[in-house]
Amino acid sequence: MFKRLLEFVGFEPGRLSARWISGSEGAKFAATAQKITDHTRALGPNTKMRDEN
């Protein structure tokens, strides 16, 4: 249902990522942040959110 809501408002669902990481897992946090960043950059600009003026 949340995926459909994201699509409805113009947000590509593949751009959302959530992870549960403990505060004591600094290396895991850094690796996860890098992985998410790389994935998002590979997707390119979110064309659905562009203004169509």
Confidence (pLDDT) at 51: 63
- Which of 35, 40, 32 lies closest to 12 in space, CA to CA? 40
Longest dimension (CA), the chain: 47
What residues does each domain of the chain span? 2-49
Q: What are 19-48's pLDDT values in tens digits?
A: 899 989 999 999 999 999 999 999 888 777
pLDDT of residue 17 exceeding 60:
yes
Confidence (pLDDT) at 49: 65
Find tokens 């890098």 and name the residue: 34
Do you know the residue count of the chain?
53
